Structure 1
Amino acid sequence: MENFRRYNLILGWGVFLVSLIVYLLTMEPTASFWDCGEFIATAYKMEVGHPPGAPFFMVLGRFFTLFAGGDVSKVAVTMNVLSAMASAFTILFLFWTLTHLVRKFFSKDDQNTPVAMISMFGAALVGSLAYTFSDSFWFSAVEAEVYSTSSLFTAVVFWAILKWENVADKPGSNRWLILIAYLMGLSIGVHLLNLLAIPAIIMVYYFKKYTPTVKGVIAAMAVSVGILGVVNYMLLPGLTAIAGKFELIFVNGMGLPFNSGVVVYALLLFGGLIFGIYATHKRGKVLWNTVLLSLFVIVVGYSSYAIIVIRSSANTPLDESNPDTVFSLLSYLNREQYGSNPLVYGAFFNHRPTAIKEGKPSYYKNDEGYYKVDKNRDYEYAPEAKGVFPRMWSTQDRHANEYIYWGGMSEAELYDVRRDAEGNPTMNQMGSYTYDRTRAIGRPTFGQNMRFFFRYQVGYMYLRYFMWNFAGRQNDIQGHGELTKGNWISGIKFIDQARLGPQEDMPASIVDNKAHNKYYLLPLLLGLAGAFFHYKKHKQDFWVVALLFLLTGFAVLVYLNQYPIQPRERDYAYAASFYAFAIWIGIGVGGLIEWASKRKRSVVSAGALVLASLILVPGIMAKENWDDHDRSGRYTAPAFARNFLNSCLPGGIIFTNGDNDTFPLWYIQEVEGVRTDVRIVNLSYLTADWYIEQMKQTFYDSEALPISMTKEQYIQGERDFAYLVDNAGVLIKEKYETNRANYEEELMGIYADLVQVLEASLLQQNHANDYKAIKALENNMDPLRLHSYMRTFNSEEVANRIELDKAAMNQLSVRMESMIRQIDADFAPLKEAFAFMLSDDPRFQQGQYFIPAKKFVIPADSASLASWVVPEKFQENQVDQVRFSITNQVLYKNMLTVMDLLATNDWVRPIYFST
């Protein structure tokens, strides 16, 4: 027994050191792409990142950044070290988990023979090192992301429940359960993925405390999944939602200060839990005492989210979703800004909404308390548009194309034929019918829905990643189903050829790609053998690991309900599932040794099998994966960001779109302090009122953006979108003045002809003042007033009274109506057009805002532009205005804000757009 413990510690820490050295050697020396730049920036200055946040990870990251010693160029390195260390500790606990599980097969009455010792530690070495060098885990281990730390929590809580299993019948064993609950609470502040270990933990508890039966196992699994659902969907959001109820009562109802309701609620919550713990302890209610203690420490761990509210209240430069109240925190936790995907029942992709209903309201602060505002609207669909387990739901056209492909459908099954003005079907150049995607005639069948589910979501978005880790990888070129991009391979010719076609004479982009990795199915086969051996030798433990494997893999893909053409590969989301499979890889070694021992049980054969397994599984994986996971000389992301910002003139404004042209820029500004005079504006976030509010504030050396909209005009629910209408009968005079050269001659011709017709009538004799008003237009032409006069004269009563030539007047009216329509559809001054959309025009009473133009003009200040925009050699070609057209029928709030900025900037600050 003592020998086992000693070797278990020595070899476990040895594996930890090996993995840590590997990760430190291959670690990126600075910020990486995707979320890494954001996480480094928010941790370094304790700012607020994207929902649902990672406050405990921020605290850990902030601690590690202290070791940069004030050198801002080393901050990213220290955060990467955090991931490397968390990953190495994950491997350590995987090793100890494996020795615990495998020991049940080989250790008899705590007596360990040499073969048993080799089997146990050999299995643990192979399994843990295989996961060390696995593709997905290694990728996350060398960058500043949450997934390494999240994996550590999963590894620790799974190991902790096995430690509890060893001492479950001894006094004080429940302290392990309380530790697990606390770690669960803390892990929420890193990533919610760790909660998926709950069912496996509960099954260990069930198997230890109860005599297993079929009904009992089913009931225990149901209870475990139910507890997971309660924690994720009720406990975590419920704690915050109830706090919101208290806040409304105390602030709006009683007139008390802000946050008084939250304080009272927190005191009642913690006071009630502490009293319950005391009472159950005093009365000897062990089970309820353990439950209440566990709930208490979960809430304590979860309370790390107070950091989010505190830092948001400080208005940090990065303050995503601005969760500075309990109401905005609830929206932040629920990830409301990202929307939601239907899971159990919902509409399919080819149908359009039939109505819009108001969504859940939220509350904003003002001087008097909290006032209610409308949140995002929810769409309603016809009953025939909906179905059970809708896997194909995104209405974007490019997603629809992929749904049709992966689901094995045709447009004819889903859409009506497009028809011309005479009602005849239209055809394309190939002689095939074209289809109107706004007119659905059916929806995917359940079979087609499941075909997409299994082919794309299960096959392409999970099994492909699984095989990357345990069979081999074609290359790191992101694909969307193509034969030459991002597939899994085995390195076994006939298998790869059957799936992907001939493998000879492959292009250099595939063969020479660093991620062209071949494991020859060896990790996969060893893991499958381990799963079989595990089931045969210890069914209870097998089902525990299987539950962990399925819930962190299959259940995640069901929950995510991913649409096709994802912006990036998503293998990182399933790392815990691959962790569970690595357990079976280790157990597979034990199975091989037991199989071999039936023929000849010897230390030599056991050692040879362990050595062979080490070489053929983690050895090959390390050799194949090293080059594409070695980021030790990679500086791409910060270099890209630095070049981006340094290309901007002082005080510039740069509009970005996605993660990779935003987060590196945030990092380089917030951490390294590069070009803090440039304002980075992410167009995706610009749809949110909180982000517009932040853009109107001064940060560092960047002045507030000159956005004219007030908070009441852009708050959520107000002007979320506006239509573009080019014949609204608005701003006619302004459009005429903007385009005078196009219309002046014709308009003055109409005017001259009108004066001639009026002079032949009795107008001058009987209505001298009206005649003078019309004559005054000659020097101050207003087409709208002229049009109004002409409509008056064209009426039957007026024409008869002044003996007007009706035929001539009708001809002039036709000419004038045509001209007004042309002017109305022409270019409008952007500032005036946008100001109209912000006005209280009565046509906006139902919230249907519009901009009265589709073509716009921005005046150009020649003197200002000559100084910093237009090079001297081109100044003779400089124009005095910029004209542009918009083809969209609708502009959403982000583009409305861009229009506002273009209208009010007056060429003061240079504006850039990333592409």
Structure 2
Amino acid sequence: MEKEKKLRIIIGLVVFIIVLSVYLITLAPTASFWDCGEFIACSYILGVPHPPGTPLQVLIGRIFTLIPISREIAYRMNFYSALSGALAALFLYLVFVKVIERFKKPKSLWEKLIQHSSGAATALLASFLFTSWDCSVEAEVYSTSAFIMFFSLWVVLIWQENIGKKNNKNLLLLLVYIVSLSMGIHLLPLLVFPALFVFILLVKPKELLDSKFFIIAFALIFISITTYLYLLIRARLGPGINEVAPTTFEKLWDVFTRKQYGPTKFFPRKTATETGYNVFVAIWQQFRVYTKYFSWQFVAFPRESRVFSSTTRFLSVFATWLYAMLGFWGLWSHFKRNRKTFALIAIVLLFTSLGLVFYMNLRFSPSDTDPFHKPREVRERDYFFSVSFIFFTFFIGIGLWQIATSIIEASLKKWKFILAVCLSVLLFVFPLIPLLSNFNSHVNRRGNWVANDYGMNLLMSCDEGSILFTNGDNDTFPLWFVQEVKKFMKFDAKKHTGVAVANLSLLNTDWYIKQLKQWGVPISFTDKEIEKLRPVRIPDGEVLYVKDLAIRDIIATNAGKKLTPKDLFAPRKEFVEKYLKDYKGKFNIYFAVTVSRENMKGYNKHLKLEALAYKIVPEEGKGMVDPEKTENLLLNKFSYRSIFNENVYKDDNTIKLLSNYAAGFFSLGVYLKNKGDYEKAIEVLEFGKKFAVKDIMPFAYNLAEIYKERKEYDIAEKNLREVLEKFESGLLYYMIGQMYEEQGKDDEALMNYLKAKQSKNDRVAGYAGLASFYYSRNDTLNTTKYLREAMADGDVYGNLFRFCLTNGDTALARFLLVDYLKLKPNDESAKQLLKKLKEKKNLNNR
């Protein structure tokens, strides 16, 4: 028995070390996007994170921030997640070998070999699933939740083994305390309670009839939830992050029940609200989202957006189905062999999979390819189901053990051990597949500083002593992280330094507006007035939300003006005309480039781009840019660590964020081009093109225009051809045709115009090129021919007129209208357009 214990300890430690080593290799060096930045900052300053508050997570995190394993505070917190994930693997292995013992006590060497090798392989497989790995390399709560759940299962199995021994019931009390205490980390571990309850009923129901046990258990539950008093205590001290500000027990309850996010509703299903699906179809669609996330776990296809060969796709689908079938075989095998432990594991799987699908009532996945499927979640929610995938993997392990055992039992005695050794080695192929498939994906955060640098760069875009309106988690939490942990541009109203970050989502809550006011953000509302703020429909029919009212009050108060009720509820245009003309405030006010146009509606003409933020200015204009500041920040000040490192994986969220950098470079480049500063424009656009991962066409087009203007046709065409290799566009063929036409190469010009006409995108440019080519040569017949072809080609004809005006070809636009009126002589709008164009021509000829 002692040898068996030592063997388990050794194998368990090997599993632990392997998993921890892989996690550390791929560990994020700093804060990642979404909740990570907030969790790290809250742990470091002992703040209050978003509901349900996770007080124990913050306290444990604080301990890890004090362990000097790295100069980077965030790395210490990320290490905590990696450690938790490795511990989860360790206890999964220990639970697995105990469950196999319930099937059949291993006596021979081959039985022990298969028992331990299948247990170790299962633990490794569970650790290298995409979602569990992804949650273990950043500061999140799901790996810790998995660890607590498997630790609980291990404890209850030890209890079962020691029934009848003195003080054995104390293990059940330990379970009650540990699982209840875990509420302070996440509510997910509570889902192990039903399984533990059923298992105890099946094993020894009398244990649950002890009144003394229940009294102590309830006392332990009460003691465990006292961790939530941390939120009450810290909230009253006003930390830099103080979400919901739970300074009273009523507000503390609001945090615990997640009141801020609205009540939990099981009906209607969110997949039915806009699609009209009946309840059964809606639930089925949500289950499909779960199966989609399941298909992500073992192989890269269909999770990754890159192009896969047909062979890779086939093998990927085959592998996923193989794992799924092994899991179902394991479920059946476990059910037949031991109903008690089957209930223990299967109930947890049921609650964390189908149970959560029903309870969470999620919207459609943001990567859903069906345009009909709306509304959609703001991000992929696979992490909610990370534990269920791990528990299903447990049954995959049972299936592997069953198959290996059956094969060996059917073989001759002399071959059993050799066969067991071969099968044991083969078992480790199953965790090797996800390890290799997932390594070069989002789970590998090694060297990824994107979120950290983005937070700093966005803050640097603002002048000292500013207020910055942000949109959501990913343009707020990185800023909180660098301000609270790295003390970078932290707001101080008295010293007029730093940047006050005002999150527009939170600006709809009274507690957040009060906090901004306490920090020194100019707000004239009293606390009672803030509490009474509600969305309101103004006379022009538009709805002003609480955040809109708060923004108006900040703008007015910042300029030292008293906001009247009439102005507070005025139409946007009236408010802007009154308060932004000759605007001069104590603090500069900015909107992050990530803020939606809807949230900046009305202020657009008074916004000037400064790198990654729009500054409110008194002058009006369109596409205004501060060229000196933007150029200095983008080219000299900003940090772009890991962005150009090909070894650092960029997911869709990161690519979307890079487009914000691209937008800054593009706006500056176009501004410089229009000013005639071609040399600097080329430098800016060429550098900015590197950020435009998905859409480099605007960069290539503007660069080509500059090179074309400088008669550098070869360089211009090279830029356009590079884009055409990835994206077919009639507009680019049109520009190439124009360049050939300028050089007198008519045949090459016509060839490119024809390619533009046949293109999948922007065909209108091809018709415009061909018509213009022949019109400039007084070839009315061919000009009319292509105009008539355009008329027959869907909606191209209407776009053709706009295209001609946009590109300054008013002569062709007039000809187009004259030709059109021959066919439609009664079209009054066309007559009016033609009249205006003729008047403009006459005016220009004077």
Tell me the TM-score normalized by structure 2: 0.62
- Structure 2 distance, partners of 1:301, 1:720, is 38
Q: What is the correspondence of 1:498-897 to structure 2 with a 5 Å cutoff?
A: 519=319, 521-564=321-364, 565-600=376-411, 601=413, 602-615=416-429, 617-628=430-441, 629-676=443-490, 677-698=498-519, 704-715=520-531, 718-725=532-539, 835-837=563-565, 850-851=569-570, 855-856=574-575, 857-859=577-579, 885=602
1:474 aligns with 2:302: yes
- Structure 2 distance, partners of 1:851, 1:644, is 31
Return closer, same or farther for 1:829/1:529 CA change in 2, 3 Å cut-off: closer
Q: Structure 1 residue 612: deviation in Å?
A: 0.7
Q: Structure 1 residue 3: deviation in Å?
A: 2.4
Q: Structure 1 residue 193: deviation in Å?
A: 0.6
- Structure 2 distance, partners of 1:14, 1:863, is 66
1:118 aligns with 2:113: yes
- Structure 2 distance, partners of 1:562, 1:836, is 42
Return closer, same or farther for 1:16/1:189 CA change in 2, 3 Å cut-off: same
Q: Structure 1 residue 867: deviation in Å?
A: 13
The answer for the alignment partner of 2:838 in structure 1 is: none
- Structure 2 distance, partners of 1:488, 1:82, is 38
Q: Structure 1 residue 467: deviation in Å?
A: 2.2
Question: Where in structure 1 are there 5+ consecutive unaligned residues?
Answer: 212-219, 224-285, 344-388, 408-447, 478-483, 497-517, 699-703, 729-827, 840-848, 871-882, 888-900, 904-909
Tell me the TM-score normalized by structure 1: 0.58
AA aligned to 1:622 is: L
The superposition leaves residues 293-320 of structure 1 with CA deviations (integer Å, 9 ceiling, x where unpaired) of: 1111121111111110000000112110
Contact 2:64–2:77 (CA under 8 A) maintained in structure 1: yes
* SS, match of residue 57 in structure 1: helix
1:185 aligns with 2:180: yes
* SS, match of residue 377 in structure 2: coil
Contact 1:726–1:854 (CA under 8 A) maintained in structure 2: no
The answer for the alignment partner of 1:203 in structure 2 is: 198
- Structure 2 distance, partners of 1:458, 1:116, is 38
Q: Structure 1 residue 885: deviation in Å?
A: 4.3
* SS, match of residue 660 in structure 1: helix
Q: Structure 1 residue 470: deviation in Å?
A: 4.3
The superposition leaves residues 174-229 of structure 1 with CA deviations (integer Å, 9 ceiling, x where unpaired) of: 11101101101210000001110011111210121159xxxxxxxx9xx9xxxxxx
Q: What is the correspondence of 1:398-477 to structure 2 with a 5 Å cutoff?
A: 400=274, 403-404=275-276, 407=277, 448-454=278-284, 456-460=285-289, 462-470=290-298, 473-477=301-305
User: How many residues matched?
Assistant: 567
* SS, match of residue 469 in structure 1: coil
Q: What is the correspondence of 1:147-166 to structure 2 with a 5 Å cutoff?
A: 147-166=142-161
- Structure 2 distance, partners of 1:305, 1:543, is 32
* SS, match of residue 568 in structure 1: coil
Contact 1:44–1:62 (CA under 8 A) maintained in structure 2: yes
The answer for the alignment partner of 1:439 in structure 2 is: none
Contact 1:471–1:522 (CA under 8 A) maintained in structure 2: no
Q: Structure 1 residue 471: deviation in Å?
A: 6.0
Return closer, same or farther for 1:181/1:868 CA change in 2, 3 Å cut-off: closer
* SS, match of residue 98 in structure 1: helix
Return closer, same or farther for 1:855/1:521 CA change in 2, 3 Å cut-off: same
More helix by share: 2
AA aligned to 1:706 is: P
The superposition leaves residues 745-766 of structure 1 with CA deviations (integer Å, 9 ceiling, x where unpaired) of: xxxxxxxxxxxxxxxxxxxxxx
Q: Structure 1 residue 689: deviation in Å?
A: 0.8
AA aligned to 1:15 is: V
- Structure 2 distance, partners of 1:488, 1:833, is 64
Q: Structure 1 residue 61: deviation in Å?
A: 0.4
Q: Structure 1 residue 687: deviation in Å?
A: 0.8
1:306 aligns with 2:117: no
- Structure 2 distance, partners of 1:64, 1:132, is 22
The superposition leaves residues 631-669 of structure 1 with CA deviations (integer Å, 9 ceiling, x where unpaired) of: 111111001111101111111111111111110110010
Return closer, same or farther for 1:140/1:329 CA change in 2, 3 Å cut-off: same
Return closer, same or farther for 1:588/1:304 CA change in 2, 3 Å cut-off: same
Return closer, same or farther for 1:852/1:36 CA change in 2, 3 Å cut-off: closer
Contact 1:471–1:523 (CA under 8 A) maintained in structure 2: no
The superposition leaves residues 431-463 of structure 1 with CA deviations (integer Å, 9 ceiling, x where unpaired) of: xxxxxxxxxxxxxxxxx2211210x20012x11
Q: Structure 1 residue 544: deviation in Å?
A: 2.3
The superposition leaves residues 84-122 of structure 1 with CA deviations (integer Å, 9 ceiling, x where unpaired) of: 1011100010000000001222316xxx21022112101
Return closer, same or farther for 1:535/1:490 CA change in 2, 3 Å cut-off: farther
1:88 pairs, out of 86, 94, 99, with 86
Identity of aligned residues (%): 31
Q: Structure 1 residue 724: deviation in Å?
A: 2.0
The answer for the alignment partner of 2:125 in structure 1 is: 130
- Structure 2 distance, partners of 1:861, 1:658, is 29
The superposition leaves residues 235-284 of structure 1 with CA deviations (integer Å, 9 ceiling, x where unpaired) of: xxxxxxxxxxxxxxxxxxxxxxxxxxxxxxxxxxxxxxxxxxxxxxxxxx
Greater relative CO (CA pairs within 8 A, separation 6+): 1
AA aligned to 1:467 is: S
Q: Structure 1 residue 170: deviation in Å?
A: 1.9
AA aligned to 1:82 is: Y
1:40 aligns with 2:35: no
Contact 1:833–1:852 (CA under 8 A) maintained in structure 2: no
Return closer, same or farther for 1:838/1:488 CA change in 2, 3 Å cut-off: farther
The answer for the alignment partner of 2:11 in structure 1 is: 11
The answer for the alignment partner of 2:98 in structure 1 is: 100
2:74 pairs, out of 61, 73, 76, with 76
* SS, match of residue 474 in structure 2: coil
Return closer, same or farther for 1:604/1:100 CA change in 2, 3 Å cut-off: same
Return closer, same or farther for 1:296/1:7 CA change in 2, 3 Å cut-off: same
Q: Structure 1 residue 37: deviation in Å?
A: 0.0
Contact 2:468–2:589 (CA under 8 A) maintained in structure 1: no
- Structure 1 distance, partners of 2:396, 2:572, is 65
Contact 2:32–2:138 (CA under 8 A) maintained in structure 1: yes
CA RMSD of aligned residues (A): 3.6
* SS, match of residue 67 in structure 1: coil
Contact 2:16–2:86 (CA under 8 A) maintained in structure 1: yes
Return closer, same or farther for 1:618/1:836 CA change in 2, 3 Å cut-off: same
Return closer, same or farther for 1:830/1:597 CA change in 2, 3 Å cut-off: closer
- Structure 2 distance, partners of 1:854, 1:466, is 50
- Structure 1 distance, partners of 2:130, 2:309, is 12
The superposition leaves residues 799-822 of structure 1 with CA deviations (integer Å, 9 ceiling, x where unpaired) of: xxxxxxxxxxxxxxxxxxxxxxxx
The answer for the alignment partner of 1:315 in structure 2 is: 238
- Structure 2 distance, partners of 1:854, 1:54, is 43
Q: Structure 1 residue 489: deviation in Å?
A: 11
Asked which structure has the greater CA Rg, the reply is: 1
The answer for the alignment partner of 1:480 in structure 2 is: none
The answer for the alignment partner of 1:390 in structure 2 is: 268
